[in-house]
Structure 1
């Protein structure tokens, strides 16, 4: 019988250290809108660190603040979720399949922060802060006109420091799946094939990243040959 573990308060710091140890080896392979995008451990850590810095310094995100991710599955969504949990935020990941008539899905009605590719939506209008981005890997900035006071996340986050300048509070996200391979055993690091960006199966995803491995997705578009070439060891 499986049991769920409580998340470690230090998961955010542990995750960043694990990604840095992964170094130039791939931590994420994304078969997305244009072509395969690979993020090494260093690069994924950098995206999370920059996102932490931007959310903390520019958005003033505090532990317990509500963050709604209103985005399609994408590796940028994953990086922003990891950064938000590292800052102790309460994160809601919206699924768009069944939206109510008022355009405001179940969940926080007046969230502190909405991160979205629809900055003119009713949900965004109700938020204190709106971060707009396109779920496109190589997009240099948000592609449409921004509403007043909305942030162009990609344009702003690039100016954030590459070094973590924040004392991280307790991790507020899910716990890693117990029994993951240790990061000190790099001979067969876990490499998971995941649906979407892996947020729907975060415990094994965290375990893979903490164990020096990585993820490959979205599973729906990854062929068996590509999964073999990526060295996939399990389905997340």
Structure 2
């Protein structure tokens, strides 16, 4: 039985994902079907998201990044990127009153025309759809089309990262874990980080998979 190591910098997470190479790090089931990301591809997404948050909207340590999005792997990518930059990351449903009191530095949302978006300094518009090439809705002035913009950023980091501000890897993993994770909230983040650092991957969201699908995914544990 192996306990996951601590995480001090986002670079350590990227290195763990890169070390998976072509092996699956994430499998996600949604209305349009199933998508699988290798460790290398997921690392590229996270690195690009870090670069975009750093270069395009200047997200800094301590800033508030709010994710007003349905459960999706892109929401998880944004959380990982925000934590890598030392930001505070909140999902809207976890406490809107506190979020509004604090003021939102960056809002990632599929509702860029909402009142909440009007109060954010920067707005990233995206849909919780894996293969969407751009935001399909009306894009307000100054809002960022996240998927289109993030793809233009390098696959490798261009700047040093501050201390990691997210949760620490959790769980005791024996062998190569392949964990089933829920879609709601970010409570599965600790288990996901632990799985990746142990050389495994995650499957989700649990709410969308029946027992046959779970067996087909060769799941070894549940978050």
Match for residue 195 of structure 1 among 182, 203, 218: 182
Q: How many residues align?
A: 218
| Distance change (3 Å), C-alpha of 1:167 and 1:197 | farther
Question: Is 2:5–2:197's contact at 8 Å kept on the other side of the alignment?
Answer: no
Equivalent in the alignment of 1:185:
none
Q: Offset of 1:41 from its aligned partner?
A: 0.3
TM-score normalised according to structure 1 size: 0.87
SS at structure 1 position matched to 2:163: coil
Q: Offset of 1:179 from its aligned partner?
A: 3.6
Q: Offset of 1:6 from its aligned partner?
A: 11
Question: Is 2:91–2:185's contact at 8 Å kept on the other side of the alignment?
Answer: no
Q: What is the RMSD computed on CA atoms of the aligned residues?
A: 1.9
Match for residue 81 of structure 2 among 80, 83, 89: 83
SS at structure 1 position matched to 2:192: helix
C-alpha distance in 2 between matches for 1:220 and 1:180: 23
| Distance change (3 Å), C-alpha of 1:47 and 1:200 | same
Equivalent in the alignment of 1:67:
65
TM-score normalised according to structure 2 size: 0.92
Verify: 1:106 aligned to 2:97, yes or no: yes
Q: Offset of 1:122 from its aligned partner?
A: 1.4
| Distance change (3 Å), C-alpha of 1:198 and 1:44 | farther
| Distance change (3 Å), C-alpha of 1:178 and 1:216 | closer
